Amino acid sequence: MESNDNTQKLERKLSPLNVWALALGSIIGASAFLLPGNSFLGQAGPLGTAIAVSTGALVMIIISFNYDYMINKYPIAGGEFKYAQLAFGKKHGFVCSWFLALSYFAIVPVNATVLASIFRSLFGSVFQFGFHYSVSGYDVFLGEILLAMVPLILFALLSIRGVRFSGIFQTLLIFLLVGGVVFLSAAAFISGDASFANLTPAFSPDYSILTGILCVTVIAPYLFVGFDTVPQSAEEFNFSSRKTKVLMIVAVLVGALLYIALNTVTAMYVPEGYGNWSEYIRDIPNTSGIMSLPTFYTAKMIAGNFGLVVTVIATIAAALSGIVGFYMACSRLLYSMAKDNVIPASFGRLHEKYKTPYIAILFIMLISLIAPFFGRTAFGWLVEMSSVGAAIGYGYTSLAAFKYARKDNNRFILVTAILGSILAVIFLILLLIPIPVLNCSLGTEPYICLVAWIIIGLVFYLVSRK
């Protein structure tokens, strides 16, 4: 049963542990288990990735100070939308929040499509049934489309049932995720088949050191986008907002450690027949089955089938935690925008029983259900779009913090706000402007998707104004 009363309030049921779990679960999705083979090692190598991820984490910590300042000033749902709107006006609030919504929304289907891709490599043709077609050389089957759709639909319905459920479930998933990565790391250290000696070359031989590090660093907005889910749930805290700084920083640091641990462990094992990890990574397109998933193959080789099962469970937990976290964050952002009439008011309706923005959640689900029809090819597009949206959100929040810090004469926040604003602009330049030497900008398909998202936003904005 729905309610048309937009004056209803979200319920305060999230504990500090719930909020931290939502943030970390949003940071570490299923893609964390694919990135070592798909991106990290091939572009930057073991040491280069560690440097890039650490640099990205430092940038996010700087920006998190700006978020903490604004959360304590305005502890309301909507986060960046409210900050940009109050500081620069409703139009700026809409621009900021609509691009940030893209960042949040994109990661929901990313986790679902990644699961389908992983299951193909692990279970072969089990889900390859029904009609099929090809997208950019990748065969898409009805069975795999349905496999990706199931968690999107299921967790949309569960997210509608209440934030308390989301918080508890997310906390459970995080324990499974972190426990899996810790087990895999420990297994690598004590295994006779994995060795630190295999971490050479330290950097990718296919890129210059600087280019490789920048190519990984530039997707930091995507890698760490989860930490800023904290302000989206500010109206649902059952604790003081003064704790948010620690929650965000710890989530970023733990997220960085998990990324680096998975990448390092993957490089520590070199399959028989290969001279080093770089030869194996180069040859992935010519492999099939579990060998096409370096992190999973390493888990099996150093810890047997039990290690593989643990890694699969951790990956599923990561995927589901990403879906749950961004359903919550994106729906609260759309809810806040609807309350201020910059998108249709229906997005601001709360479910009569569960007090959740169910129309917003269903909208996210329906848009997300498009991605599985593009198969694995959608993964890269969504990652790049998410990075653009997050960078815009970070920039607006930092600029808003700068404006209010000047009034409050808060010198520390003035410094972090200036740094955050500059860094956000740098991310956008690297992502949106093709620089041949670096080759880090968006591809054609993500640009098309970005334009489509802008058109949808303009339609919503014009309808809401009328």
Q: Contact 3/349 with Cβ under 8 angstroms?
A: yes
- In this structure, the dihedral spanned by the alpha carbons of residues 37, 109, 175 and 257, taken in order and rounded to 10 degrees, is 40
Q: Contact 242/81 with Cβ under 8 angstroms?
A: no
Query: In this predicted structure, what is the pLDDT of residue 1?
Result: 39
6 within a domain of the structure (yes/no): no
Q: To which residue do tokens 């690598």 refer?
A: 188
Q: Answer whether residue 12 shows pLDDT above 70.
A: no
Q: To which residue do tokens 């070592």 refer?
A: 36
Averaged pLDDT, 72-83? 77
Q: To which residue do tokens 């990565």 refer?
A: 181
State percent of the chain over pLDDT 90: 34
Nearest CA among 342, 341, 359 for reference residue 350 = 359
7 within a domain of the structure (yes/no): no
Distance CA 51, CA 45 (A): 10
Query: In this predicted structure, what is the pLDDT of residue 4?
Result: 43
- Residue 112's domain comprises 16-465
Mean pLDDT of the chain, nearest integer: 85
Averaged pLDDT, 243-267? 92
Query: In this predicted structure, what is the pLDDT of residue 269?
Result: 92
Q: What angle do CA 25, 44, 110 make, to 5 degrees?
A: 35
2 within a domain of the structure (yes/no): no
Residue 220, H or E segment = helix 220-223
CATH number for the domain harbouring residue 309 = 1.20.1740.10
139 within a domain of the structure (yes/no): yes
Q: Answer whether residue 65 shows pLDDT above 80.
A: yes
Q: Measured in whole angstroms, how far is the alpha carbon of residue 261 from the centre of its chain?
A: 18
Query: In this predicted structure, what is the pLDDT of residue 389?
Result: 86
259 within a domain of the structure (yes/no): yes
Tokens for 63, please give them.
């920006």
Local confidence band at 434 (pLDDT 50, 70, 90 cut-offs): confident
The pTM (predicted TM-score) of the whole model is: 0.86
* Residue 255 identity (one-letter amino acid): G
Higher pLDDT among residues 180 and 321, named by residue = 180
Q: Answer whether residue 175 shows pLDDT above 60.
A: yes
8 within a domain of the structure (yes/no): no
Q: Answer whether residue 334 shows pLDDT above 70.
A: yes
CA count, 13 A, side-chain hemisphere, 430: 22
Nearest CA among 221, 257, 230 for reference residue 383 = 221
Higher pLDDT among residues 237 and 169, named by residue = 169
329 within a domain of the structure (yes/no): yes
Distance CA 194, CA 284 (A): 19
Higher pLDDT among residues 379 and 319, named by residue = 319
Q: C-alpha distances in angstroms, 430 versus 34, 44, 237, 378, 392?
A: 23, 17, 36, 21, 13
Adjacent-strand bridge partners of 141: 132
Query: In this predicted structure, what is the pLDDT of residue 59?
Result: 92
Q: Answer whether residue 52 shows pLDDT above 90.
A: yes
Contacts of 131 (CB under 8 A, 6+ apart): 141, 142
Averaged pLDDT, 6-30? 74
Q: Answer whether residue 6 shows pLDDT above 50.
A: no
| Structural domains in the chain (count) | 1
